[in-house]
Amino acid sequence: MIPAIFGCSGPELTSEERGFFSKAKPAGFIIFARNVEDPDQLSALVKDLKQAVGRHKVPILVDQEGGRVQRLTEPYWRKYPPMSVFGDMAQKDPTLAASALRLNTRLIADDLRRVGINVDCLPVLDVRQSDADPIIGDRAFSDDPKLVAAMGRIVVDALMEGGVLPVVKHIPGHGRATADSHLELPVVEATVADMDETDFLPFKAMADAALGMTAHIKYMDIDPKQCATLSRVVIGRIIRMKMGFSGLLMTDDLSMKALEGTFEDRTRAAFAAGCDLALHCNGDMEEMQAIASACHLASGKLEKRIATLISEADRAPRPDREDLRRRYEALMEKF
């Protein structure tokens, strides 16, 4: 097994993908809208991905946040609101917001678990800033870091209750970025002292989360040379020491334009900085082959840790979905 998470090109595996995954044996996979047609097709794809690597305890990821970022959607899956809706709700009725968010997340988890997806790249713990690029925007709960932390905890716990592993993102905080890291490298000038009271706070509160995702952002007061994903200083001193994050740390997508250099260079730099897993999303075969060539073999410790996390999620009891739906809709009608 190599410590990489890959995407695939379409709703079914090609023979080339099947052969590559069988040989490379990536740690896991990520699903995008291009891979989704209907529940039966998606379930079959997930099974094929697991068969290709010859393991049952395989992380199958998706970005299922609600709002603008939802890979499984209508007509087969409910359209969920963006997370800012629950942050706004909490300003008026914190109890109602907490209950509605928990049920919303349990329904998302049930959607995913029914088709074999066991990891959701949620919650977004970025603290919204009014002058930032809109790439985060309503994906964030709020501009109040304490509220973001409280809402994030509800999502983390509710996903685990629903048998799905959460991924906190984007460590150490994407809320100040004035550029979209999909397109270019954002640079944040704020001091560590300022970020410690705002951006870092929700991640500190979620230091026990099983999985986290880095931000492709350069923080000038921490490391003026490298973005967080490739920075030993950001990962070691800030994420691991100051925040106390103890979970497995994956890169954000290595194909994003915020990063420069070959895919081999990006991969090696991310591991050298302290990332545990390399994430690549677009399904481009040449890029995946380059990343695989730069990966070391995963340690037995990493393999065991991943399998243990998935086993823990698998033990969650199946919910009464109709009851969840009924209670959720009743609460949302009050807002």
Q: Which residues are catalytic?
A: 182, 252
- Residue 148 CA to residue 203 CA, distance in Å, equals 9
Lookup: tokens for 126: 């970025």
- Residue 251 CA to residue 231 CA, distance in Å, equals 11
Peptide bond into 134 cis (omega under 30): no
Bridge partners for 278 per DSSP: 4
| Angle (CA) 105 127 185, round 5° | 110
The secondary structure of 106-130 as a DSSP string is: HHHHHHHHHTT--EE---B-PPP-T
Cα–Cα distance list, 277 to 3, 7, 63, 243, 269 (Å): 5, 14, 17, 19, 12
Helix (H) or strand (E) holding 204: helix 200-205
* Local structure of 253: helix, strand or coil: coil
Peptide bond into 123 cis (omega under 30): yes
The alpha carbons of the chain give a radius of gyration, in whole angstroms, of 19
Instruction: State CA 30 to chain mean position distance.
Output: 10
| Phi, psi at 328, each rounded to 5° | -65, -50
- Residue 112 CA to residue 205 CA, distance in Å, equals 26
- Determine the straight-line distance between the first and last CA of the chain, rounded to whole angstroms: 47
Tell me the one-letter amino acid at 73: T
